[in-house]
Chain A
Amino acid sequence: KNEVEQSPQNLTAQEGEFITINCSYSVGISALHWLQQHPGGGIVSLFMLSSGKKKHGRLIATINIQEKHSSLHITASHPRDSAVYICAVWGETSGSRLTFGEGTQLTVNP
């Protein structure tokens, strides 16, 4: 079992739909990172959070430390949101090393 698991692995939505991507982890963490990887390969950091909720534009990230679970929400999805979304955690005992989930491939159709 991976230390970081994401669901779903693949997600197809219509433009305008509300998207939720889930991340569960099995280790104690100091922080969690949501990343976005576009088809060209470059990775953009979306959020880094250790508690509560953060919002940036149409993106919302939440984390529940007790339940070891985080969600990434996209409101009013758009085709340009199509990308791979990756959850990564800093374990409490892993120093500065990130442990990555397998990623969720999101496709938003016009």
Chain B
Amino acid sequence: GAVVSQHPSRVICKSGTSVKIECRSLDFQATTMFWYRQFPKQSLMLMATSNEGSKATYEQGVEKDKFLINHASLTLSTLTVTSAHPEDSSFYICSARDVSGARWETQYFGPGTRLLVL
């Protein structure tokens, strides 16, 4: 089955530093990738929709200058948390939409990246 990978799986950083998270579709092309964050005991919250070759679409309340998204190829999207602060500590999950399948709704999730900002 289709696989989405994320790197790193876990990162601890100091407050004020920037952290980059990669999301890759390993065996399919993904023109659209989604970035979510999840706080403990809560459901996923969509942060932004990343489209290959164009600017990401951010959800209301998500700072685009804080969470930089780059979708440079059909298999890679990156999320950079700039000047991270402790309140950015969360679980970040990406998903990728397989547009080659018979059903456009097919979406695959990455394993997530746990970010801890000290």
- Interface residues in chain A, defined as those with a beta carbon under 8 Å from any beta carbon in chain B: 30-31, 33, 35, 40-45, 48, 86, 90, 96-98, 100-103
Complex Cα–Cα for A101 and B104 (A)? 21
Residue B71 CB within 8 A of the other chain: no
Interface of A is mostly: strand
CB pair B46 A97 closer than 8 Å: yes
Chain B: number of interface residues, binned into ranges? 20 to 34
Most buried by B among A31, A86, A96: A96
Q: Is the CB of B43 within 8 A of A43?
A: no
Do residues A96 and B104 form an inter-chain contact, with CB atoms below 8 A?
yes
Give the chain A neighbours of B111 by CB distance below 8 A: 40-43
Measured CB to CB, the closest approach of chain B to A55, in angstroms, equals 17
Task: With A30-B105, A44-B109 as known contacts, state yes or no: A96 contacts B97, CB within 8 Å.
Answer: yes
B109 contacts A41, C-beta separation under 8 Å = no
**A87, closest chain B residue (CB):** B43
Assess whether A45 is in contact with B49, with CB atoms less than 8 Å apart. no
Residues of chain B whose beta carbon lies under 8 Å from any beta carbon of chain A: 32, 34, 38, 42-44, 46, 49, 91, 93, 95, 97, 103-112, 114
Q: Evaluate contact between B109 and A96: CB separation under 8 angstroms.
A: no
B107 touches A45 (CB 8 A): yes
A90 to B95, CA, bound (A): 14
Q: Distance (Å) between the CB of A57 and the closest chain B CB?
A: 14
Q: Sample 5 A-B pairs with CB under 8 A, ordered by A number.
A: A41-B112, A43-B93, A43-B110, A45-B107, A100-B44
Q: A48-B103, A96-B49, A96-B97 are in contact. Are A42 and B43 (CB under 8 A)?
A: no
**With the chains together, A96 CA to B109 CA distance in Å?**
14
A96 near B105 (CB under 8 angstroms)? Answer: yes
The answer to whether B112 touches A48, judged by C-beta atoms less than 8 angstroms apart, is: no
In the complex, the answer to whether A42 meets B112 with C-beta atoms within 8 Å is yes
- Assuming the contacts A43-B93, A48-B103, asked whether A101 and B43 have C-beta atoms less than 8 A apart, the reply is yes
Q: How far is the CB of B39 from chain A (nearest CB, A)?
A: 12
Which B-chain residue is minimally distant from A41 (CB atoms)?
A: B112
Partner of B109, one of A31, A42, A102: A42
CB of A86 to closest CB in B, whole Å: 7
